[in-house]
Structure 1
């Protein structure tokens, strides 16, 4: 089977790495890809926003499956348009992708179907949002309603911080994503990531992880798209997974089907494990980044078999088995991230890093005069496995120490919560 993978980040490199191992794969293409993905797939210069052009490419290359990595093309309806051309796609319709594309849509769905989540308000003006914030007080959470590349959420610990976040949204800090704002109750507990593969009817549990959103050691500083992750999440035992499926995932699947938008693809639930049980923070409608990297390292199954089953409505006939090892990934970011990153600095020592046994997934790199250079904020995902999270952590940081990139930085405490559990 010929496969087209859409995307250019670390998530897509991990997907390409896993897809390339499938005996079912004939040829893998990636659009636009990156220098790391080029080691697993043939890169193609497709404008993925031109759905007709993507369709023509698929017909010319006899593509049997399109795998959409990032959220923006899904929200823009690429899955709908390709399916209308008779092309098989792994990823939700635009209507179903509203679970990520509009936080307000998801909150309203939770309210209608009794899905546990934080209390909230939706606002179209800064004045109304500010009044609600002043009434509720801090700590409180401010979210741009639309897609904001992982940066539209402010966990405000003070009233001034909350009001500033509201103003930032309505003043255009996140473009059109902030034209509407969701203000939420601040929840306390342990945050985890829970994934399911879905075919519109069946939701198949597909692994757990925990990531680190804050830019600095000790979980300080601004939120980012994720500075590292590990899998599995120790707090998500079989009982918690069963409860999450019953109280959160299954009502969501029913609700979306009733709305005429059955969900097919990856359903990624960000959860807060509170004293009263799991509550939904938000949904994403694609693999997490960097959570995908650790999931792919642990997955025993042929990923292409599972994705085909999801597309064909056959998930009830397959299973997802996992290696016993833990996996941990550390994001190496360019100086300036999560603000304006410095681009163009050369990166060396990648062969030395992989020689340690780690995988280095490229997230924001480019080729310049034959050298790998930084071309984004989050640039590399250095990923390792071990019998414990502590062992995986040590291997990942040993690989990082082999990389020659003075202009890059990383957190040095990824996995700290699990390591503390192991050492308790």
Structure 2
């Protein structure tokens, strides 16, 4: 089977590695790919936003399955274009991808489906948003409606912070068109968890629960990022609860979208806040998280190509999906300054030494080849991922691998997995 994987991050490298393990995959194309995916297949110089170009390439090369890594091509209609070409695509159509493409749309679908979520209001006028903020008081959460690379959310502890966020998004337009509409919602307190499920339009199979680490610095401090690390399984959401959680936050969304003529096929990601009143959905994503994808796929036992094709064609079977009993931890090594300005072009060394441990895989994100050298090309550079018999050993192995890798101005959090370890200690 010829497979076209769309995207260029650490998630896509992880998908490429796992797809290469599928015996049915004869050729793997990655568009546009990165330094790591180039070792798994053929990188193709097509942007993930070039839906027409991707569809033409898939037709011309006889691609039999398209796998969407990031959200952007899905919100631009990648699945719709592939459907017109008669090519199965892992990922929802443009309408259903609105769950991630528009936070206002997602909140309305949640309300219609009866999914528990924070109370909210959507605004297209900054003055009206600020008046609402004054009336409600803080704390509040202000979100850019559109795609903002995981950074368009501000948890405001004061009215002034909330109004400043509105000004940044709607007046200064720091996120461009994504901030033309903003959502102002109540701030929920608790611990976050990521709950994903494979979906084929009718059936869903839950994945192992994860915890992501969005803040740049230890202790969940500093600016929001695309994710500085993740681990699974996450003890905050035990496996015994997966079925009930799917019935609460996945199945109602699938039913609502199917009733609208847009069955959800792909992976549906519910970002949860575990509050005193029970789990509440913060947001939905319509693709694997990055970096959650990396530890998830390290633990997945099953033929990934078979699973993704089954989701795309409405033939998903729970027996296809199994899991290692080990834990997995992914530590993101980033360039100093990320998520703000950061240097590029720094040589990366030590990956081979880190991967001498068979339980370690270094997934490349912001990398490119410069002759014989591997150099940095983005803010999040590597996702150093390790398996262990338990969370403590997986964490120790991941950080031991990090210590073997070098590039100038490399930074990472030192506390990935600590929330889970604290929870385990209490129980």
Task: Please tell me the TM-score bracket, short chain as reference.
Answer: over 0.9
Deviation per residue, 1:6-54 (Å, 9 max, x gap): 1100000000010000111111111111111111111112244333332
Return the offset for 1:239: 4.3
Asked whether 1:174 is paired with 2:175, we answer yes
**2:405 maps to 1:409:** no
- Give the superposition deviation at 1:98: 0.3
Which stretch has the larger CA shift, 79-88 or 9-18? 79-88
Which residue number in structure 2 is paired with residue 184 of structure 1? 185
Q: Is 1:2 equivalent to 2:2 in the alignment?
A: yes
Runs of 5+ consecutive residues of structure 1 not aligned to the other structure = none
Distance of 2:399 and 2:318 partners within structure 1? 39
Unaligned runs of 5+ in 2: none
Are 2:380 and 1:375 aligned? no
TM score, norm. by length of structure 2 = 0.97
State whether residues 49 and 72 of structure 2, in contact with CA within 8 Å, keep that contact through their aligned partners in structure 1.
no
| Aligned residue number for residue 235 of structure 1 | 236
Which residue of the other structure, out of 396, 417, 420, is the alignment partner of 1:394?
A: 396
Alignment of 1:183-262 (within 5 A): 183-262=184-263
8 Å CA contact 2:144, 2:180 repeated in 1: yes
The alignment partner of 2:248 has SS state of helix
Say if 2:366 and 2:382, in contact at 8 Å, map to a contact too.
Answer: yes
C-alpha separation in 1, matches of 2:226 and 2:46: 25
| CA displacement, residues 87-129 of structure 1 (integer Å, 9 cap, x when unaligned) | 1111110001000000011111122222100011111111111
Partner of 2:348: 347
C-alpha displacement of 1:56: 2.8
Alignment map for 1:272-311 (pairs within 5 Å):
272-311=273-312
Choose 341-350 or 14-23, whichever is displaced more. Answer: 341-350
What SS class does the counterpart of residue 207 from structure 2 fall into? strand
Cα distance in structure 2, aligned partners of 1:18 and 1:238: 23
What RMSD, in angstroms, separates the aligned Cα atoms of the two structures? 1.3
TM-score calculated relative to the size of structure 1: 0.97
Number of the residue aligned with 1:45: 45
Q: Find the aligned partners of 1:248 and 1:360 in 2 and give their Cα distance.
A: 32
- SS class of match (1:340): coil
User: Where do 4+ consecutive residues of structure 1 move more than 6 Å?
Assistant: none
Q: Distance in 2 between matches of 1:272 and 1:311?
A: 29
* Cα-to-partner distance string for 1:129-182 (whole Å, 9 max, x where unaligned): 111111121111110000000010011122221111111110201010000000
Instruction: Report the Cα distance in structure 2 between the residues aligned to 1:6 and 1:31, rounded to whole angstroms.
Output: 5
Structure 2 contact 328–391 (Cα < 8 Å) conserved: yes
Q: Report the count of equivalent residues.
A: 424
CA distance in 1 between partners of 2:323 and 2:388 (Å): 13
CA contact (8 A) 1:31 1:46 kept: yes
| C-alpha distance in structure 2 between counterparts of 1:264 and 1:56, whole Å | 22
Q: Secondary structure at the match of 1:218?
A: helix
